[in-house]
Amino acid sequence: MKAFRFGVAAAAQDGASWRDTARRAEELGYSTLLSPDNLNMPTPTAGLAMAAAVTTRLRVGTYVYAVPLRTARAAAWEAHSLTTLTDGRFELGLGTGLPSMRQQADELGLPYGTGQDRLDSISATLDHVRHLDGDTHTPVMLAVGGPKARRLAGAKADIVTFTGSVLITRDEFAGHIEDVRSAADGRDIELAMNIFVVGEHVPPWMEGFIGADAQTLIEHDSLSMIRGSVDDMVDELQRRRDRLGVSYISINEAFIDDFAPVVARLTGR
């Protein structure tokens, strides 16, 4: 059973606030600062290099690179560069990209491609990273939804996080994990989960993003929400690790302080 670790997903607004967020995440015991990827914000490459420069232990990662926005070789080049410049503190997250990425890919003069095209690009990116790394190793996390993506992640990824409906049942989630493990054929993989909501209330901007209010999440026992006292949240995460094997938990920057006592308890700080 793997030890818990925790990530914070944040978006750079300006240099000063981004540096403050990185320092705060490290101070509170989070393992990783994670940056999303789209053309409406600064490139993750710049922000993550900056975050690593103002911290000493904090890992940095993409959550996740949308493969339609780069060729496989360009994404691997950026990833290996960050691994080198952060002294091995970079984690490459890859995903096929939301449908909205079709327009952004077009702006860059790149094809959005079919679902299989995008999975092939993920696979090629990972192969290029492994070639460039040589004796180093860039941990690669794949964000997966469908069965083909789960099989690819099991075969090639170091870390796997799961996308899809926030109303997925625990049994369905366990089935997705089994798909990954079956494809892994005994390889050691870290299982991750993004929690969208910490507490009893869903901020309006988050409700718009996930398409569900607090009552709906509670009624469906959603894995995308965690609530109650610190003891309640600690117990719930331990149950998830015991049953599902999930040990790497990420939360949104909006909850960085609210969730910090849980991080402290489960990391022994």
pLDDT at 98: 86
Class of the domain covering 5-194+225-267: alpha beta
Residue 196 pLDDT? 96
Give the model confidence (pLDDT) of 9-65 as tens digits: 999 888 999 999 999 999 999 999 999 999 998 999 999 999 999 999 999 999 999
pTM: 0.94
Listed residue (103, 111, 118) closest to 163, CA to CA:
118
3-state secondary structure of 246: strand
| H helical segments located in the chain | 15-27, 44-53, 72-85, 101-107, 115-133, 147-156, 170-184, 204-210, 214-219, 230-244, 260-267
Please count the helices (runs of H) and the strands (runs of E) in the chain. Answer: 11, 11
pLDDT score at 263: 98
Over residues 123-155, the pLDDT tens digits come to 999 999 999 999 999 999 999 999 999 999 999
Three-state secondary structure call for residue 169: coil
Mean per-residue pLDDT, 219-240:
96
Closest among 198, 194, 102, 103 to 144, alpha carbons compared: 194
Which pLDDT does position 269 carry in this prediction? 65
| Residue boundaries of the structural domains of the chain | 5-194+225-267
Show the tokens assigned to 18: 């981004």
pLDDT level of residue 268 (50, 70, 90 thresholds)? confident
DSSP 255: G
Model pLDDT, residue 12: 81
Identify the pLDDT of residue 39.
Answer: 92
pLDDT at 258 exceeding the cut of 90:
yes
- Based on its alpha-carbon atoms, the radius of gyration of the chain, rounded to whole angstroms, reads 18
Alpha-carbon gap, residue 103 to 111, rounded angstroms: 10
* pLDDT score of 1: 83
pLDDT of res. 117: 96
Exposure b/e, 140-177, CB count within 10 A at least 16 = b: bbbbbeeeebbbbbbebbbbbbbbeebbbeeeebeebb
Residue pair 70/78 in contact by the 8 Å Cβ criterion: yes
Which pLDDT tens digit goes with each residue over 150-202?
999 999 999 999 998 999 999 999 999 999 999 999 999 999 999 999 999 99
Predicted pLDDT of residue 261: 97
**pLDDT at position 219 over 80:** yes
Mean predicted lDDT score pLDDT of the chain: 95
